[in-house]
Structure 1
Amino acid sequence: MAAARKGYRSLDVWQRAMELVEAVYKVTQLLPDSERFGLISQMQRAAVSAPSNIAEGYGRGGRDYRRFVVMARGSVMELETQFEITVRLKLLSREEIREAWDLSQGTAKMLSRLADSLKGR
């Protein structure tokens, strides 16, 4: 990545969140078309929200940064709940969501660490 493109794009947590978005879009392609305006839409919005909030918070800086990181973590928790719903409703198997689930778990941990490191700043 060119030096001029540093900033939030160089953050490991933002890059991981972007990988999560890609994985969620792959997973939602497996869902029935009847879920287009339900789970598919909700899952995609939650996934996109995570890196978007990281970027927006980074751009605002200060205390806003931590607040947006916490919101990004909330979006990942929302997404994990939606994964669980797809499994409980037997729309997808645990194996079908495994990659996205693992990415969500890793992203959530990274966001928690980042939020903790920004506490009190």
Structure 2
Amino acid sequence: MAFKFENLRVWEQGIELSAEVSKLVKTFPTEERFVLSAQMQRAADSVALNIAEGSTGQSDAEFKKFLGYANRSAIEVVNCLHLGRKRHIITEDDFSRMYTAYEGMIIKIQALKNSF
């Protein structure tokens, strides 16, 4: 692996969760394609993107700042899960599974951030 972020388990989990979000939003109704599904996918992608961007050639303080951005994006995904559940386009099972996964992701990002 050539880049620092490629060795980070939290980045790898971000990639995996983004793929899960991609599968989930493909089940949304057409009218949500450019609304909730697009927003949710961008937020999910942003988690791993911010981890990668912050880790590459930045100071520890700069990396911490990008980890904060990644955490905010993960929180945005959680909020999208709530919106989807409220709109009856995300099942309780999918909500619970994804909520738990993002809860764990947020904890891991915060732990990495606190390690500096």
TM-score normalised by the shorter chain: which range applies? over 0.9
Is contact 1:54–1:69 with CA below 8 Å preserved after alignment? yes
Instruction: Provide the TM-score with structure 2 as the length reference.
Output: 0.92
Count of paired positions: 115
SS of match in other structure, 1:61: coil
Q: Paired residue for 1:101, among 99, 102, 108?
A: 99
Q: Whole-Å Cα distance in 1 between the matches of residues 87 and 11 of structure 2?
A: 31
Relative contact order higher in (CA < 8 Å, ≥ 6 apart): 1
Q: Secondary structure at the match of 1:37?
A: coil
Task: Provide the residue aligned with 2:87 in structure 1.
Answer: 89
Cα distance between partner residues in 2 of 1:60 and 1:5: 12
User: Structure 1: how far apart are the matches of 2:101 and 2:16?
Assistant: 7
- Deviation per CA, 1:36-93, whole angstroms, max 9, x where unpaired? 1100100000000000000000014211100000100000001000001100111111
Q: Does the Cα contact within 8 Å between 2:3 and 2:56 map onto a contact in 1?
A: no
Q: Which has the higher helix share?
A: 1
Identity %: 27
Matches within 5 A, 1:57-76: 57-62=54-59, 63-76=61-74
Q: Is the Cα contact below 8 Å between 1:16 and 1:103 reproduced in 2?
A: no
CA distance in 2, matches of 1:13, 1:96: 21
The letter of the residue matching 2:99 is W
CA distance in 2, matches of 1:87, 1:40: 13
**Does 2:25 align with 1:33?**
no
List alignment gaps of at least 5 residues for structure 2: none
Runs of 4+ in 1 over 4 A off after TM superposition: none
Gaps of 5+ in 1: none
Instruction: State the TM-score, normalized to the length of structure 1.
Output: 0.89
